[in-house]
Structure 1
Amino acid sequence: MSRTLKLLLPIAVVLIVGVYLAGSFAGASENDPPPREPVVLPSDTTSPSTGTPSTRSPSPSTRVPVVSPSPVDDDDDDDDDDDRDDD
């Protein structure tokens, strides 16, 4: 390799990497989203004016029935093919 090529090749690599990094940093700063409005949650002051919380129980139509799981006999030994007699 000639002396000129040994000098120009690293300079070209550094120049290309530098341009890439400069473009990445410049492009990243342009895409910042605008600041968002803070989320304000409503306070729990919607109780009746008497100041006592409601102690009503749900009406029977809104109650959800409770279903407890029961064990299922899922034994399919009768359908196994490995019990064949090969006489």
Structure 2
Amino acid sequence: MDDAAFTTEAVAADQLKAFIERIERVEEEIAGLNGDKRDIYAEAKGNGFCTKTIKKIVALRRKDFSVRQEEDAILETYMSALGMV
């Protein structure tokens, strides 16, 4: 094998390993944060809050207000058509 090819492969392998290790660290951080989030929901539930509703509110707060309004209007239209309101 050519020395230049060997060096290129070694550099690429080192770079690949670095990417993989960074991804693994981020995945560990995410797992830790997800554990923290579970703890918060458990605490809220222990204080009498409905975690299903809290999760819906968190999802709604992530959405742009105009998108939320449009979705709400469509939902209301459909529910009205089905005699649910």
Q: TM-score higher than 0.5 here?
A: no
Which TM-score bucket, shorter chain as reference?
0.3 to 0.5
The TM-score with structure 2 as length reference comes to 0.38
More helix, by proportion? 2
TM-score (norm 1): 0.37
| Larger of the two Rg values belongs to structure | 1
